[in-house]
Amino acid sequence: MAKNEITNTIKDGIRPPIVAVMGHVDHGKTSILDAIRHTDVQAKEYGGITQHIGAYQITYKDQKVTFIDTPGHAAFTQMRARSGRAADICILVVAADEGVMPQTKEAIQHIHAAQVPMIVAINKMDANGADAQKIKQELASEGVQVEDWGGDVVCIEVSAKNKTNIDKLLDAILLIADLNPIKGSVENELEAVIIESFLDRKRGVNVSVIVRNGVLNVGDKITASGYVAKIKSLLDDKGLPIKSAGPSTPVQIFGFSQVPHVGDLLVTEGSELASLTVDENQVEIIGKNSKKTVAVVLKADTYGTLEAVKGSLANLVTSSVEATYALKFLFSGTGDVTESDVVLAQSSRGGVVIGFNVRIPTAVADLALNNKVTVKSYKTIYDLIDDAEKLLEGTALKEELKIKGRAQVLKTFKLQSGDLVAGSRVIAGALKPNTRVSVYDKDPSTLVDGDTSLYTGAIRNLKRGKDEVTVVGKDVECGVFLKPQFDDIKAGYWIEVL
């Protein structure tokens, strides 16, 4: 996009509004964003293709609006707080059939702290038990007075499912933006906010930003989080390459060699604003006065979730008046768990490696098993929090060391040869050919006296893809061939090494 084209989107020094959508988990934030996206004529012209970069821009009534998607779980407080600071307007989503919940209250606090205008979207008005008046009363108790209750907060009753009043919600955004003009110019110094960052295995460091001022160009030298980069390429929210991005534009940047922090400012290298680009509040040690320190290597799929998980672990210490241990983050980064992560954890006695939505390659799992280092990766924040205390206290490793090998069957299928394959994931220990195993229809850790196995035999061989392997470690999937064959094995069953 040429500079004059960008200038045409900025009228009289006023840029398009940046809107963050907040609220409790499952209250319909994503559904509302999807409904809004479908109103965009340009999106339809692109065949509805949208690159998820944590933000996107639509055109409504010939005016552009940028939306930031924010997570809803309590663990993602930091991300929500930063999205609040990055936004000009915040939409608070509350489900009409559930009401104000813990994350709703947190979102309200962040919006107030950010000092930006708020719009309340009471969603799920189509649901049984929907009660908008009850919601407004609960909001009033939290200091949010909507207009028909004598306050100044715009409130729209919507149904994302039926796309009811989505137009009124967008009209409210344009009205507030008109009443509270948002200054921005292509002539100003570059200022962008990082809303997501992670290491892509194929393309390198991927950074999503929203430009607040100035212009971001391919070839520019920039800095963020203390890292300097030269922009190699830019992609818009449709995944299409562009040459420049102006105020309020969400864009992906490629060119960093290190992953900058979510929420940090991105500016031109050498700018007077450079001193503001490093977040000095990165927590590395929590609970320093505790008797025991647990060393943690933390890996996540994106930098945003990395910070959120870090905050959750820290909360386990800070929420306890008499915490028995402190946390020392040896390293926090994005990407799959590596052998160096295991070695780093091993260097600190009792160190653990915790991953979130990342892979643990077989070689890494084997190294961890041989060196008695706890390495676990989670798909949901709930499971991580449930296990975290045991992990940090070291009891999880002791329990796992008692398990020779345990796997859960995910899927079964028969080959043309007649062999039955149990596609399984190793939960603890390791599986090896020619070892005796039993099969259960429940988690072996929950067995009580009197429970018996459905089958006892041995592992004939193991396969990863088309290759036979001699060992499969924890958190790795494989195909298990039993001898004698057990035709009644099903998904959900457990294989236990004896």
Label residue 399 by pLDDT band (50, 70, 90). Answer: low
pLDDT at 170: 96
pLDDT at 235: 92
| Mean pLDDT of all residues in 386-391 | 70
Rounded to the nearest integer, the mean pLDDT of the chain is 81
pLDDT at 45: 40
Domain 285-401 in CATH 3.40.50.10050? The answer is yes
191-276: which CATH topology?
A: Elongation Factor Tu (Ef-tu); domain 3 (2.40.30)
Contact 101, 93 (CB under 8 A): no
Higher-scoring residue by pLDDT: 87, 280: 87
Transcribe 316-385 into DSSP letters: HHHT-TT-SEEEEEEEEEESS--HHHHHHHHHSTT-EEEEES----HHHHHHHHHTT-EEEEESSHHHHH
Two tokens at 213?
A: 């001022």
154-158, 238-242, 389-393: segment of lowest average pLDDT = 389-393
Transcribe 424-475 into DSSP letters: EEEEEE-B-TT-EEEEESS-GGG--TT---SEEEEEEEEEETTEEES-B-TT
Q: Which residues of 225-256 are buried (b: 16+ CB within 10 A; e: fewer)?
A: bebebebeebbbbbeeebebbbbbbbbbbbbb
Residue 96's φ and ψ, nearest 5 degrees, are -65, -25
Segment 41-66, tens digit of pLDDT: 444 444 433 445 678 889 999 899 99
Domains 285-401 and 405-497 fall in the same CATH topology: no
Segment 57-113, tens digit of pLDDT: 899 998 999 998 765 544 455 555 555 567 899 999 999 999 998 778 878 877 887
Segment 304-325, tens digit of pLDDT: 788 788 877 777 765 554 456 6
Contact 261, 279 (CB under 8 A): yes
d(CA 498, CA 494): 13
Q: What is the pTM of this model?
A: 0.60
42-51, 396-405, 444-453: segment of lowest average pLDDT = 42-51
pLDDT beyond 90 at 145? yes
405-497: which CATH topology?
A: Elongation Factor Tu (Ef-tu); domain 3 (2.40.30)
pLDDT beyond 60 at 400? no
Report the SS3 class of residue 287.
coil
pLDDT beyond 70 at 392? no
Label residue 40 by pLDDT band (50, 70, 90). Answer: low
pLDDT beyond 80 at 470? yes
d(CA 244, CA 241): 9
Instruction: Please name the residue that has the structure tokens 């609220």.
Output: 23
**Domain coordinates of the chain in residue numbers?**
17-179, 191-276, 285-401, 405-497
d(CA 112, CA 218): 36
CATH architecture of 17-179: 3-Layer(aba) Sandwich (3.40)
Helix, strand, coil percent values for the chain (each to nearest 5): 25, 35, 40
